[in-house]
Structure 1
Amino acid sequence: MSPASSSITPYASILTLKHSTNKDKFDTNHIILASSGAPLSKATKGITNTPVFIPVVIISVLFVLLFKFKNVIEGLLVQFRYQLLKLFSLPTIGKLAFLLVFTVPIILVGGSLYNVAAGTESWTEGFHKVYHTVTGFPEVEEESMWAKQLMSILNYVGMFAVASVIGFVSSDVSGAIERINTGNHNLLEKQHTVLLGWNKQTIPLLKQILLAQEERGYGTFNTPLIILADKCKEDMDSELKDELGTERLNTWITTRSGSPTRKSDLERVATGSARTVVIMASDEGASSLSTVLANITAVATVSQKVVLESGGGMKKLEDTGPGLLLQQMALTGNFSVVSVPSLSNLSDLVAQCATQPGMSAVFLELVTHDEGKEFYVQHVPSLVGKTFGEARRMFDGATLCGMVDSRNGKHQLNPDDGVTLGPSDSVLLLAGDARALKPSTKAINCEAIRATTEGVTAGSSAVEPSVKEFKEVMVICPSCDIPSELLDSLREFGQEGMRINVLLDKEAGTTSPESEGGERSKISYTNLDLESVSALIDEGLSTVDSVVVSLDQDQEGSVADAQVVATVVKILGALSTVSESRTKPVGIVCCIADPDTTNILKELLATFLDRSAPGVTLDVIEYRTLLGGMVTQIGAEPLLQPVFADLFDEDGDELYMQSLAHYGVPVSQSFMWGQIQEAVRANGDLLLGYLAKGGSARLSVPRSESVTLSPEDSLVVLAKGA
């Protein structure tokens, strides 16, 4: 049959049909679509007739499966939607990486299916065609109907992948991302960390948690870390971006606005499936805390660790509703409950710094996660049956400080060397990171160290304890009430016969009580103009051993810090005025919220040092950083809670600063650190490190390292309380 024809114009298309000479078949091979006489494309060949009932059967089966597994499919769709939302909240590099991971399997699987459908002999042909189809390659010619359909489907998939990349910068996707980042939709996480509440301690705590993840591993506080607080989400996100950086938000940390006292809000952040729940201290009272704890118990579906930042610790909660709930939660066996001291417990630390200058650097090194040393609790089967003294000598990069019974949490700090480690005993180690926790197979040069140490000790005359006597302490209270907790701590940690002079701001209108006397100390109160430098001098600033600047807890951190800086300036100015008449060193102790304020105070000290004469030390307690580090360490290892309580308490073992002469160790000579350890151990104390002349602490020195100490250096030891 001759091909049909007609005239061709630039504005018309002609469809010409050519039939095969075989009258029983219609050959579509001769369909040509032309414009202006030029062929545009060629149709595919060899379409095979497909029975009509096959698509009907396939569709029917799909409907039956959808109906039967409706709930399962709905759950999968919810999970898919949630994971898609998380995808759009990733940074650009994360989205591009996901598209790469998403596209490569499509090309591999699609290429394999194409080869089967098209019956190609070369497998690379399928991968090649699918690759170009997915990436937007023009439509290709196919002989098989199934191959053509498959390539069409893959073409749509490819269009979606390419369109997604383009959509990242388009208005629609940008709007969706903005809604996701600022939205408050439900979260479907598991084994994550939930932080309930927001206070001044939140940002320092998050910084310590992120550092702990880097040092101890991501299992310490599982990410993502979800914050639920009765605070505007935009405000929380803005503050987190400023303090932690944009890359942390929505990848490691997610915020949701809501109340921890509402069960529905707890469910929205998947509190029931969280591994760790941290409850921040609140001003709403015991009833609010009871509601939060009750809701946590109600929604929990897995065993959880509950970390409570309490104002006064577990002892003050025992007779309250929250205390009873915490006890019941612990008894169920589903919750590991631990309470961490809050700001009020800093009084003990301030008192220790007031009587032992430089102690703030030691506590900062012990508690915070940065470049310092932290406590680890670890069970080491190879140490079972060994004595504490034997185990102590088998660690080089870590210092063995005590033992913890993993069955009941009972601990022993600085036990005798003859105490034997049992099967349930874990060791308490002070180390820089987890890599230093593995013991050696034998004692590190033990005999040589002990022999040399005996010679050192024998060649030096023992002296009386070198802890400096602090008899005069001045407490300055700028525009704040009488710090009763601080005064109680000074009584407990102070030496017998201590005199404490409390200076109250006359302008604040605080009533000056009568002087107090006791067996160990005497407290006197004076109202005066604290803006006057001469008034400070008249009150005996030139004769005191220590000056404590009391913290005004009711003020915002930046305002309180500014007040502390102003007070320290006046103290340094007064000391420089009486430098010639001052006959003994003096220590200044203060608490600040922002670590940057520490640098300002150190610069001030350096400026005044020449004029105020040597012997002025400055202990700056970064209380928010310290508390954040403490919550992080105890949250990661609840067995550390009684250890920190013991270190801060006046009973039991305490940290002391001692001179080398106290242990008979000559100065300005090189010794292995292990030798100095054994000299200290001969007195029953445990050596943790030393405080250098400039005020920097170095803890857990490797046992095999050679060290030369100067007369101004102090040893940091763990010893029985006086």
Structure 2
Amino acid sequence: MAQQHTTSLRLRLRYRFDHLVSGGTTALIGWLALACLAVVVPASMVLVWSDRAAPATLSGRLTAVWASVGQTLKIGGAVGSPLYVLASVSLALVALLFVSTLVSLITTGINRRIMSLRLGHSTVLETRHTVVLGWSDQVFPVIGELVAANANQRRSAIAVLAPQDKVWMEDEISTRVSDSGRTRIICRNGSTTDPAELCRVSPRTAKAVLVLPPTGDTGDAHVVKTLLALDAAAPGSGEGEAVVVAAVRDSRNHRTARLAAGPTGHVLCVDDIVARLLVSTARQPGLSLIYSELLDFEGDEFYPVAAEGLVGRTFGEALLSFATSSAVGLLHTDGSVTLNPDPRAAIGPADRIIVISQDDDTGVRADVASHVEEDAIVTAGPRIAQAERLLLLGWNRRAPLVIEQLGQYVSPGTTLDVVALGEYAATRGTRAVTAERSRLEVSFHDGDITDPLTLAKLDVPSYDSLIVIGETEPAASASASVSACGSASDTPVAPLAPVTDPDARADDRTLVTLLHLRAIGDAAQRELALTTEMSDDGNRLLAPARGGADFIVSGRLISLLMTQISESPYLAEVFEELFKAEGHEFHLKPAADYVRAGHEVSFATAVESARRRRECAVGYRLRARSATGPDYGVRINPDKRRRVRFSEEDWLIVLAES
């Protein structure tokens, strides 16, 4: 026996209505007309029959009902001969159809325009704005730094183009960027590799275009395609064209991207820069704090200032010609840059002096040579380099670059132990590369860096320096690797939710490793000399490490570099010099090698002492405050007239040859 449907009246009526609507436009109009007549005709009859002034005859009242229905439905309601009534109704229906169609067309056009604006398909009509192409976690620090750079401008704009929903992008930016100040942030939807869609953000009239590297293995290829599309959408027009800044992850794709960017484009290589900073910071703890201070727009940055009054004089004299700024190089008329030039080099009439200063208007001349105290200057001999024991935890494509960089700077007899998960073909290649470098002895060990048992076997406190890099693990072990965050016991630990982003997964493993390293350091009652690589700055805030610890956050670092170059293109050459092996770079050197320890001296005295070594002193770091925020003992660009007492454990920050 068939089962009876026991549904409510409400559901049955709703079903009937759905069936009615599905019948199409003609059926819907017919039923709507019948429904209107079913309501209007009886209501009109009630009005007529209840009206005391209504006609007495039946025909008169029916005529009054017809007039009421006609007026209500806007079909005239005229009375007269049948032909007259028919013509009147026809004209009323035509007028109704025309007005309805006109309203519908206007409404549709307005809705289409609103949807187009909502989808982000309209063209941005701005000039001298900054264009950001692509979407990743780097977009937030990029926009934040651009907002800070434009804080003193009356009118500025940032146009973002990405294959994302416009409203969603605006919501994300408003959530992650707390205050946009005077800068207007405009989002547009579109593919960054389509020249036609690139025109939505008007790259031809922009002052700078930033191409962000997306996450994933195909990110570099996408950057190259975007650069080619940008050239097709806004070919170089010579003077006044936008500054193009891009970044690729893999060093093997750097040359290709530079060809796509053209002779005036600037392409940063994430792997080379991060590897360079990891090695430099591992050798000189605290160096990451110095670069963070110099690269963001909140502290002191690089600025070119006119050489008025210094033309024909030497660069050494310029070092003591600014009280609240630090001279570090020369910007020549052809756009080339010389960092830390010979103190005897003459300043040309068209040269500009590159200084580290608080703002572009604070590089004011003020001679401080009279503040130099000759009796406080120390002439110390070179320190004898000692062999070290180094530990590298984790493995990714940057690891060979890190090992190669270490091999160029360490002392003979230095050993490096590499602990990584699984067998990597790249590891075997690195062995061949480092086998020829007698100064660095490399040993490879198979182990899970998130396993406390693996770390316990290493005797971590015995190493002079540790480097933890974001390990990209085999996919098969990704879900199980984080289970080591429990303990060394046999108690089962539920794995964390799987993370698909390889950079995020690498950061998760790094956080677990840092947690175990902190426990090891606490047990040994020793502060570990630790340098850590991360991808997301948000994860750095979660890291279980002491205040002022060295973190190289690749995403934020590249974002800061890109924004600095977009605002001041000459900085591309400055950073290229700072981040290449054979160039000049910042060093942390014992302050007692420059001035007398334990005595108050002016900072101008330290600058003069560094000048005699062909170095530019730009600041210092105090050991006693190295764990205290917010500066962690780092003072960049102090007033040269300021007096400071250095101890044997304090450092002087100098720009010197590598």
TM-score (norm 1): 0.64
Equivalent pair of 1:384/1:422 in contact (CA under 8 Å): yes
In 1: Cα distance, 2:252 partner to 2:309 partner: 37
User: Which residue of 1 is the match for residue 266 of structure 2?
Assistant: 338
Query: Cα distance 1:311–1:325, how it changes in 2: closer, same or farther (>3 A)?
Result: closer
1:421 has 2:351 as partner: no
Q: CA deviation at 1:316?
A: 5.7
Residue deviations 1:555-594 (CA, integer Å, cap 9, x gap): 4554433322211111122233444xx7xx6411112344
Q: What percent identity do the matched residue pairs reach?
A: 22
User: Which residue of 2 is the match for residue 589 of structure 1?
Assistant: 531
1:626 has 2:553 as partner: no
Q: CA deviation at 1:312?
A: 6.2
Residue 563 of structure 1 aligns to which amino acid in structure 2? R
In 2: Cα distance, 1:530 partner to 1:553 partner: 12
Residue deviations 1:271-317 (CA, integer Å, cap 9, x gap): 22222222223523576145323324349698322322232699965
Residue 412 of structure 1 aligns to which amino acid in structure 2? T
Residue deviations 1:50-71 (CA, integer Å, cap 9, x gap): xxxxxxxxxxxxxxxxxxxxxx
Within 5 Å, which residues of 2 pair with 1:604-643?
Answer: 604-605=545-546, 618-643=549-574
1:490 has 2:406 as partner: yes
User: Which residue of 2 is the match for residue 456 of structure 1?
Assistant: 376
Equivalent pair of 2:150/2:183 in contact (CA under 8 Å): no
Query: Cα distance 1:711–1:563, how it changes in 2: closer, same or farther (>3 A)?
Result: same
In 2: Cα distance, 1:250 partner to 1:213 partner: 8
1:239 has 2:239 as partner: no
User: Which residue of 2 is the match for residue 368 of structure 1?
Assistant: 296
1:566 has 2:512 as partner: yes
User: Which residue of 2 is the match for residue 533 of structure 1?
Assistant: 452
User: Which residue of 2 is the match for residue 83 of structure 1?
Assistant: none
Residue 361 of structure 1 aligns to which amino acid in structure 2? L
1:430 has 2:356 as partner: yes
1:680 has 2:610 as partner: yes
Residue 624 of structure 1 aligns to which amino acid in structure 2? G
Within 5 Å, which residues of 2 pair with 1:185-200?
Answer: 185-200=122-137
* Residue 153 (structure 2) aligned to one of 218, 222, 229: 218
Equivalent pair of 2:258/2:265 in contact (CA under 8 Å): no
Deviates more, 1:550-559 or 1:651-660: 550-559
Can you give the 5+ residue segments of structure 1 that lack an aligned partner in the other structure?
1-172, 331-335, 607-616
1:503 has 2:419 as partner: yes
Query: Cα distance 1:260–1:482, how it changes in 2: closer, same or farther (>3 A)?
Result: closer
Aligned with 1:237: secondary structure? helix
* Residue 597 (structure 2) aligned to one of 657, 667, 676: 667
* Residue 271 (structure 1) aligned to one of 203, 213, 218: 203
Aligned with 1:491: secondary structure? helix
Within 5 Å, which residues of 2 pair with 1:644-655?
Answer: 644-655=575-586
In 1: Cα distance, 2:452 partner to 2:560 partner: 37
In 1: Cα distance, 2:235 partner to 2:562 partner: 25
In 2: Cα distance, 1:438 partner to 1:380 partner: 11
In 2: Cα distance, 1:314 partner to 1:561 partner: 21
In 1: Cα distance, 2:156 partner to 2:536 partner: 26
Aligned with 1:434: secondary structure? coil
Equivalent pair of 2:119/2:188 in contact (CA under 8 Å): no
Equivalent pair of 1:546/1:586 in contact (CA under 8 Å): yes
Query: Cα distance 1:313–1:381, how it changes in 2: closer, same or farther (>3 A)?
Result: farther
Residue deviations 1:436-495 (CA, integer Å, cap 9, x gap): 21223xx22x1x334x2x2123xx5635438x74611111117x5682222222223433
Residue 465 of structure 1 aligns to which amino acid in structure 2? R
Query: Cα distance 1:326–1:657, how it changes in 2: closer, same or farther (>3 A)?
Result: same
* Residue 379 (structure 1) aligned to one of 306, 320, 333: 306
Q: CA deviation at 1:719?
A: 1.5
Q: CA deviation at 1:637?
A: 1.2
Equivalent pair of 2:587/2:654 in contact (CA under 8 Å): yes
Query: Cα distance 1:576–1:249, how it changes in 2: closer, same or farther (>3 A)?
Result: closer
Query: Cα distance 1:676–1:249, how it changes in 2: closer, same or farther (>3 A)?
Result: closer
Q: CA deviation at 1:384?
A: 1.9
1:549 has 2:468 as partner: yes
Q: CA deviation at 1:529?
A: 3.8
Residue deviations 1:517-551 (CA, integer Å, cap 9, x gap): 32221211101243433432322423211111112
Query: Cα distance 1:250–1:387, how it changes in 2: closer, same or farther (>3 A)?
Result: closer
Aligned with 2:267: secondary structure? strand
Can you give the 5+ residue segments of structure 2 that lack an aligned partner in the other structure?
1-109, 474-500, 627-631
User: Which residue of 2 is the match for residue 522 of structure 1?
Assistant: 441
Residue 142 of structure 2 aligns to which amino acid in structure 1? L
User: Which residue of 1 is the match for residue 329 of structure 2?
Assistant: 402
1:359 has 2:301 as partner: no
User: Which residue of 1 is the match for residue 383 of structure 2?
Assistant: 465
1:705 has 2:632 as partner: no
In 2: Cα distance, 1:275 partner to 1:563 partner: 40
Query: Cα distance 1:485–1:382, how it changes in 2: closer, same or farther (>3 A)?
Result: same
TM-score (norm 2): 0.70
In 2: Cα distance, 1:296 partner to 1:576 partner: 58
Query: Cα distance 1:405–1:565, how it changes in 2: closer, same or farther (>3 A)?
Result: same
In 1: Cα distance, 2:571 partner to 2:252 partner: 16
Aligned with 2:248: secondary structure? coil
In 2: Cα distance, 1:591 partner to 1:546 partner: 14
In 1: Cα distance, 2:534 partner to 2:583 partner: 28
Q: Which runs of 4+ in 1 moved over 6 A?
A: 173-179, 299-302, 312-315, 508-512
Aligned with 2:150: secondary structure? helix
Query: Cα distance 1:680–1:338, how it changes in 2: closer, same or farther (>3 A)?
Result: same
Query: Cα distance 1:356–1:647, how it changes in 2: closer, same or farther (>3 A)?
Result: same
User: Which residue of 1 is the match for residue 587 of structure 2?
Assistant: 656
Equivalent pair of 1:261/1:295 in contact (CA under 8 Å): no
Equivalent pair of 2:586/2:654 in contact (CA under 8 Å): yes
In 2: Cα distance, 1:383 partner to 1:712 partner: 36
Aligned with 2:361: secondary structure? helix
Q: CA deviation at 1:512?
A: 6.3
Deviates more, 1:263-272 or 1:247-256: 247-256
Equivalent pair of 2:245/2:566 in contact (CA under 8 Å): no
Aligned with 2:140: secondary structure? helix
Q: CA deviation at 1:639?
A: 1.1
Query: Cα distance 1:309–1:482, how it changes in 2: closer, same or farther (>3 A)?
Result: closer
Residue deviations 1:672-710 (CA, integer Å, cap 9, x gap): 111121122222221111122233221111111122223
In 2: Cα distance, 1:380 partner to 1:324 partner: 35
Q: CA deviation at 1:600?
A: 3.7
Q: CA deviation at 1:208?
A: 1.4
In 1: Cα distance, 2:419 partner to 2:247 partner: 30
Residue deviations 1:66-106 (CA, integer Å, cap 9, x gap): xxxxxxxxxxxxxxxxxxxxxxxxxxxxxxxxxxxxxxxxx
Query: Cα distance 1:302–1:194, how it changes in 2: closer, same or farther (>3 A)?
Result: farther
Deviates more, 1:705-714 or 1:248-257: 248-257
In 2: Cα distance, 1:419 partner to 1:557 partner: 46
Q: CA deviation at 1:230?
A: 2.0
User: Which residue of 2 is the match for residue 92 of structure 1?
Assistant: none
Within 5 Å, which residues of 2 pair with 1:278-293?
Answer: 278-282=210-214, 283=219, 284-285=221-222, 288-289=225-226, 291-293=228-230
In 2: Cα distance, 1:542 partner to 1:414 partner: 37
In 1: Cα distance, 2:150 partner to 2:472 partner: 30
User: Which residue of 1 is the match for residue 4 of structure 2?
Assistant: none
In 1: Cα distance, 2:570 partner to 2:252 partner: 17
User: Which residue of 1 is the match for residue 277 of structure 2?
Assistant: 349
Aligned with 2:598: secondary structure? coil
Equivalent pair of 1:475/1:501 in contact (CA under 8 Å): yes
Aligned with 2:529: secondary structure? strand
Equivalent pair of 1:497/1:520 in contact (CA under 8 Å): yes
Query: Cα distance 1:251–1:714, how it changes in 2: closer, same or farther (>3 A)?
Result: closer
